[in-house]
């Protein structure tokens, strides 16, 4: 039986581990050909092995997402090979320093914004025309409750996620009259390396896993999804 995403082309950033890996496996299991984007070649190859063992297919793109010209080239390459893109999952992100805002160095601040905000703007800029060429383009980005909670010492991360939400909602409003549907997922506490860095004393066994949240992404990238411009909290 054909999967729900048969013949779809999906690009996932931060695909070598955590939520990105789980989403890539879930989309591939439903028949999508997945373009896996991450910095670490070894991590990408491990995910590719898992996908192939399950009968799926993938294309690996080892890429530093702060190489913005490479993101532009990626859009051109996808157009030349496939002519369109059905699904974009903007998952890659970094935590940055957990320190008083006045103690964050300009370099640290710029790095958090480069990965969490500017990378996603450049992906939108490069891939929007390809998503528009799809019959039912879908885009999902990963945000965080930190965008609203504004916890002490989480300044760079919180502000970057608030900026990401403004960026994605603006794009969603711009394409509202098209077939493209764009949303964000706020996963809540998930057992990932980023969470372990932020909360080193926390028992990961008490948390939801990346595999737990993957079905929500699958729902949001499906052709039947009508939600648009929303932030969907996985854990209320």
Each residue of 108-117: pLDDT tens digit?
Answer: 999 999 999 9
Mean of all residue pLDDT scores within the chain? 96
Indicate the pTM of the whole model.
0.96
**Over residues 128-132, mean pLDDT:** 98
Model pLDDT, residue 191: 80
Please say if the pLDDT value at position 125 is more than 60.
yes
Please say if the pLDDT value at position 33 is more than 70.
yes
Q: Are strands 33-38 and 57-62 parallel, antiparallel or unpaired?
A: parallel
**Closest to 123 in 3D by CA, of 93, 94, 80:** 93
Kindly give the residue spans of alpha helices, DSSP state H, lying in the chain.
18-29, 41-53, 68-82, 106-113, 119-133, 146-149, 155-174, 193-198, 210-221
Q: Report CA torsion sign: 112, 205, 149, 89.
A: positive
Query: Catalytic one among 19, 30, 131, 157?
Result: 157
157 is catalytic: yes
**Which pLDDT band holds residue 236 (cuts at 50, 70, 90)?**
low
Secondary structure (3-state) at 88: strand
> CB–CB of 28/53 below 8 Å?
no
**Over residues 91-99, mean pLDDT:** 96
Please say if the pLDDT value at position 1 is more than 80.
no
Q: What percent of the chain has pLDDT over 90?
A: 91
Assigned superfamily of 9-233: NAD(P)-binding Rossmann-like Domain (3.40.50.720)
CB neighbourhood size of 203 (10 A): 8
pLDDT in tens, 136-153: 999 999 999 999 999 999
Give the distance, in angstroms, between the CA of residue 227 and the centroid of all CA atoms in the same chain: 17
Q: Are strands 87-90 and 57-62 parallel, antiparallel or unpaired?
A: unpaired
The residues with which 231 forms a beta bridge, in sequence order, are 184
**Closest to 157 in 3D by CA, of 125, 184, 194, 212:** 194
Burial class (CB in 10 A: 0-12, 13-18, 19+), 201: exposed
Of 75-79, 90-94, 103-107, 189-193, minimum mean pLDDT range: 189-193
């Amino acid at each position: 039986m054909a999967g729900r995403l048969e013949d779809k082309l999906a690009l996932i950033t931060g695909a070598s581990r955590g939520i990105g890996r789980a989403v890539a496996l879930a989309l591939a299991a439903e028949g999508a050909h997945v373009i896996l984007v991450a910095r670490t070649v070894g991590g990408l190859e491990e995910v590719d092995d898992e996908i192939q063992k399950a009968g799926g297919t993938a294309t690996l793109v080892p890429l530093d997402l702060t190489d913005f010209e490479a993101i532009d080239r990626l859009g051109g390459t996808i157009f030349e090979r496939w002519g369109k893109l059905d699904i974009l999952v903007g998952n890659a992100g970094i935590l940055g320093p957990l320190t008083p805002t006045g103690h964050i160095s300009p370099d640290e601040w710029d790095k958090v914004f480069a990965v969490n905000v500017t990378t996603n703007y450049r992906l939108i800029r490069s891939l929007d025309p390809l998503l528009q060429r799809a019959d039912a383009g879908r885009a999902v980005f990963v945000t965080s409750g930190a965008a609203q909670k504004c916890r002490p010492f989480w300044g760079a991360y919180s502000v970057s996620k608030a900026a990401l939400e403004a960026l994605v909602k603006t794009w969603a409003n711009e394409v509202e009259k098209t077939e493209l549907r764009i949303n964000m997922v706020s996963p809540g506490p998930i057992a990932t390396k980023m969470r372990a860095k932020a909360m080193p004393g926390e028992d990961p066994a008490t948390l939801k896993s990346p595999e737990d949240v993957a079905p929500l992404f699958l729902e949001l990238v499906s052709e039947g999804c009508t939600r648009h411009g929303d932030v969907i909290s996985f854990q209320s």
